[in-house]
Amino acid sequence: LSRIAYVNGSYVYHLGAMVHVEDRGYQFSDAVYEVVAVLNGKILDLEPHLARLGRSLAGLQIGSPMSNKALSVVLNEVRRLNRLRNGILYFQVSRGVATREHGFPNTEVKPSVVVTAKRLNFDAIKKKQQLGINVITTAETRWARPDIKSVCLLANVLAKAKANKNGATDAWFVDNDGMVTEGTANNAWIIKDNMLITRELSNDILAGITRHTLLSVANDLGMKICERSFSVVEAKGADEAFITSTTNFVMPVVKIDEQKIGDGKVGQVCKKLIKFYWNYLEG
């Protein structure tokens, strides 16, 4: 089966899917993106992802390339053409193609829209959820608006590479006050005395859709929740820790900077959250 992508109005073979060399996404990271999960052939939480795309576009003053309804049609068509049952759809909107000039183009340019599909093995993710992952901590070096889901991800890429080089799966960014902001592509959480703690929303972190959904799942379970910053020191002394994202769902963190969290195994609260989050997704 050949993979199919969507590029500016056409469904094309993935191999030949291309944008122009003067696309502003390519030259300036002048673009935003979203990632949605597809489970059993169904796109999850599409509405909040589209709403966040709208906020990111507004944040960069890029005009909306098409209605949410039209974009939903395109996304579902890419899903269908790729016979994607389990995986993700990636979609990106750049300001468009223009002669390289830092300022916004003087003439009106059409935003570039790209959609790609990728298969994921959710059974492998479920297995990983039983073992948990290790993270390292690293200085927050991103630009000041990580709440905008822009493709300006160089700091994230370097942090992830540093983590991998140090035998860890991911890195948690730490701000100048020693507080954890978030992971390279996920939100960070800790659990202390059965209280779920995750950083409050601000310009400093992405408002994760998984974060939002899990908060409501935890709330329905009657769990104690506190949205506030936590330090690396506090995280290392937590009972449990985990990350959330579209591609990881709820993924336990069992070590931070080589230090075991709790007894270094996936804890009871994480197990419960994983179970109920899958119930929510599959239900």
Site of interaction with ligand PDD (CB under 6 A): 35, 146, 182, 185-187, 206, 208-211, 244-247
The nearer residue to ligand PDD, 112 or 198, going by C-beta atoms, is 198
| DSSP per-residue letters across 156-202 | HHHHHHHHHHTT-SEEEEE-TTSBEEEESSSEEEEEETTEEEEPPPS
Cβ proximity to ligand PDD, 182 vs 240, nearer residue: 182
Distance of CA 177 to the CA centre of its chain: 24
Residue among 4 and 188 whose Cβ is closer to ligand PDD: 188
For the stretch 122-126, contacts whose Cβ atoms lie closer than 8 Å and that sit 24 or more positions apart, written own/partner, are: 122/39, 122/86, 125/247, 125/248, 125/249, 125/251, 126/278
How many residues does the structure list for the chain?
A: 283
Active site residues: 149
Q: How far is the CB of 103 from ligand PDD (least distance, A)?
A: 27
CB of 212 to ligand PDD, least distance (A): 8
Tokens of 225: 């929740």
Please state, in angstroms and rounded to a whole number, the distance separating the CA atoms of residues 230 and 268. 21
Q: Write the CB contacts of 10 (distance below 8 Å, at least 6 apart in sequence).
A: none
- Closest contact distance (angstroms) between CB of 17 and ligand PDD is 18
CB of 209 to ligand PDD, least distance (A): 4
Q: How far is the CB of 214 from ligand PDD (least distance, A)?
A: 9
CB 133 within 8 Å of CB 245: no
User: In terms of Cα–Cα distance, which of 224, 232, 278 is closest to 258?
Assistant: 232
Buried-state track 224-241, b at ≥16 Cβ within 10 A, e below 16: eeeeebbebeebbebbbb
Sheet holding 42-43, edge to edge: 10-13, 4-7, 112-119, 87-94, 31-39, 42-43
Q: How far is the CB of 99 from ligand PDD (least distance, A)?
A: 29
* Residue number with CB closer to ligand PDD (65 or 146): 146
Three-state secondary structure call for residue 137: strand
In the bound state with ligand PDD, the residue whose beta carbon lies nearer, of 38 and 97, is 38
Nearer to ligand PDD, 126 or 260 (CB): 126
Of 30, 230, 38, 95, residue with least CA distance to 241: 230
